[in-house]
Amino acid sequence: MSAPTPKATPVQPPSGSVHRPGFFVQLDRFWQRVTEGLELSQLWNQFHADARASYRLYRRDFDARSPHGTRRHNVLHTAQEVVWAILEKLTPARRVLLLLGVLLLIFPGFNSTSHDSSGEIRITEINFHFLGGVLLFVVLMLEIADRVVMKRDLEIARDIQKWLLPATPPQVPGLAIAFAMRPANTVAGDFYDVFARPSGGGQPRFLIAVADVAGKSIPAALLMATFQASLRTLSETSAALPELVSGMNHYACTNSQSGLRFTTAFMAEFDPPSRTMTYINAGHNAPILRHSSAAVERLSVGGLPLGIQTDRTYESGKVTLQPGDWLLIFTDGLIEAENSREEEYGETRLLNQLQAGAGSNPDELLRRMMTDLDIYVGPTPQHDDVTCLLLKVA
């Protein structure tokens, strides 16, 4: 006869401890909502990028206040200039709140002793730390509100810019096209477009344009939009390419702030029946023409960037494209992208990618180039827009 199996006795949790799995689930959900699912390494990279961007912002103002010729090398002066660089980013009212908050955090408060009617001693303690924290929190909330409004406006501007730029390459007889653009900020000062223009009753010619407005963010994006509008308007005429570029230069000079907001541009006109391409390089990075024989040619004929000299004339170049030829047009943000050691990506690495992927199609090769760029720069924030346009002759 077998012995009876003892019944299991439930183990009671120690006194004072409560097992709450739901609490940890809610805590995990809260953490995921705060971090948007990012890992700690990704959060650190984001913080590192934000810190470097803020440092560059304040350092630029600091250098402007204290040029190298007049800079005094002492800690007090440096701290003073850094504080002013930060304060000048705030409105006067917020500067006062920030300074009051800092002062209240520095001074602990005071105690006062008094006697009541019964003779007992009463000690009244006033602590400034809490009030100082409240003032700093108010300044933080006001700055966040401004940032939210600005971010919303930038997102609207980004959507408008995406609408202005072509989302997909047009169908051009004899060419396969791919393009990509990555703004350094929410909006970009780079421009690209490929569209047909009238040719007097025959098969239409196609205008290929890539441009880079000096600067970035909102000012450059606004000039880019006006550049596109004027280019589309002038392209409706039957003017030859040099006349078209001269008209663009004249318009750019009226909006360049005496040459400070100039625009580098590469514009070409492709004639499908003859496979000839007439082009003008207005101070832009010379596009790379890789022939089917693997020989490389640079398209550099043109003149100064647009917006510098009103009466400037532009010389045009001409090439005849053959099946298997590649044309790579890019902005300086691509080759000047830096890694953590401040080393530029460079044209040599870009050309190697083009040579290695000559047997693929433009979409595939462009993905390889952008992936190689991402691997090279890693988490390092970039300071300029990146635009790349690839053409392959069928």
Residues of the chain under the 50 pLDDT cut = 1-2, 8, 15-18
Instruction: Please give the Cα distance from 251 to 205 (Å, whole number).
Output: 23
Over residues 282-301, the pLDDT tens digits come to 999 999 999 999 999 999 99
pTM: 0.72
At 65, list the tokens: 């206040």
For the stretch 325-364, what's the b/e string if a residue is b when 16 or more beta carbons lie within 10 angstroms of its beta carbon? bbbbbbbbbbbbbbeeeeeebebeebeebbeebbeeebbe
Ramachandran area for residue 384 (φ above 0: left; ψ -120 to 50: alpha; else beta): beta
Element (H, E) at 277: strand 276-282
At 301, list the tokens: 């004929």
> What local confidence, expressed as pLDDT, does residue 166 receive?
87
Alpha-carbon torsion angle 373, 379, 384, 387, nearest 10: 30
Tokens 């653009």 sit at which residue? 181
- Report the half-sphere exposure of 79 (CA within 13 A, side-chain side): 3
Q: Judge contact between 318 and 279, C-beta under 8 A.
A: yes
Ramachandran area for residue 119 (φ above 0: left; ψ -120 to 50: alpha; else beta): left
> What local confidence, expressed as pLDDT, does residue 28 receive?
83
Q: Which fold has domain 166-393?
A: Phosphatase 2c; domain 1 (3.60.40)
Instruction: Please give the Cα distance from 315 to 240 (Å, whole number).
Output: 12
Q: Is 107 helix (H, G, I), strand (E, B) or coil?
A: coil
For Cα atoms 203, 207, 209, give the angle at the middle one, nearest 5 degrees: 170
For the stretch 39-49, what's the b/e string if a residue is b when 16 or more beta carbons lie within 10 angstroms of its beta carbon? eeeeeebeeee
Amino acid letter for position 393: V
At 294, list the tokens: 């693997």
Sign of CA dihedral 212, 213, 219, 225: negative
Amino acid letter for position 119: G
Radius of gyration of the chain (CA): 31
Domains of the chain by residue range: 25-89, 166-393
At 280, list the tokens: 């003008």
> What local confidence, expressed as pLDDT, does residue 255 receive?
76
Helix intervals (H) in the chain: 21-35, 40-65, 75-87, 92-106, 128-164, 217-235, 241-253, 332-335, 347-356, 362-377
> What local confidence, expressed as pLDDT, does residue 2 receive?
47
